[in-house]
Structure 1
Amino acid sequence: MLTPDDIRRVALDMPEACEEPHFDIASFRVNKKIFCTLHTAEPRIMLKLDPEDRENLLDGDAIQAVPGAWGRHGATFVYYLRLAPERLPALMRLAWANVAPKRLLR
């Protein structure tokens, strides 16, 4: 089972990632752009995915589109207590790559 510490470790393993507060939750950013937020009141993260990637990953249980406009632009809730731990690094990498500068993607 994934914990907030696991989420934090995987997010900060991304090149040039840093943690900054975003209102009352933790956010993980690259080049000042958020790729992940960590919600602990409800055990979930929000990942900024490409909308097409997200549609291919939806499973109705652990991975769900954020309702409304944010979701149409790729914002995705991942309920980390329901997610197989081995899936987290690939999902985090997709979110990071979605906002990372091109120089880091090479």
Structure 2
Amino acid sequence: MMLVNEVRQIALSLPGTEEVTHWGKPSFRINNKIFIVIQSDMKTITVKTTKEEREMYTTTDPKTFIIPESFKNMNYMHINLETASKDEVKKLIRSAWGIVAPKKMVKIFFER
């Protein structure tokens, strides 16, 4: 189980990331583009994803990876931190950052 403080630590370690409140919840952004939101229950995060990635995760493990009704037309999904593996959460956080970060920054970051 990953804790929200670990999520925060991973997110803030990514270049250009800022923590900003979004509807009273902590969100992590780069260039004002959200890639993670910590939900009020402190056990769920919302991450930016691709349509294909979201489909794969939510089909494979629908108790851990959930598409909220309000996000069904957007490429975000909830992750239940109590049931997701730490490695998977870390991978998805980095992937979410890579989707919204400037492409040049992403290339440099992932090549190192």
4+ residue segments displaced more than 3 Å: none
> Normalized against structure 1, the TM-score is what?
0.90
Q: TM-score, with normalisation over the residues of structure 2?
A: 0.85
1:29-78 CA-partner distances (Å, limit 9, x unpaired): 0111000000132520000111111111221111111214x232211000
Kindly tell me: are residues 42 and 6 of structure 1, through their superposed partners in 2, closer, same or farther at Cα, counting changes over 3 Å? closer
Aligned match of 2:56: 56
Pairwise CA RMSD:
1.3
| Distance in 2 of aligned mates of 1:99 and 1:34 | 8
**DSSP-derived class of the 2:2 partner:** coil
What is aligned with 1:14?
A: 14
Counterpart position of 1:91? 92
Structure 1 unpaired stretches of 5+: none
Distance 1:77 1:5 in 2: 17
Equivalence for 2:110? none
Which has a greater percent of helix? 2
Shift of 1:93: 1.2
Per the alignment, residue 34 of structure 1 pairs with 34
Unaligned runs of 5+ in 2: 108-112
**Percent identity, aligned pairs only?**
27
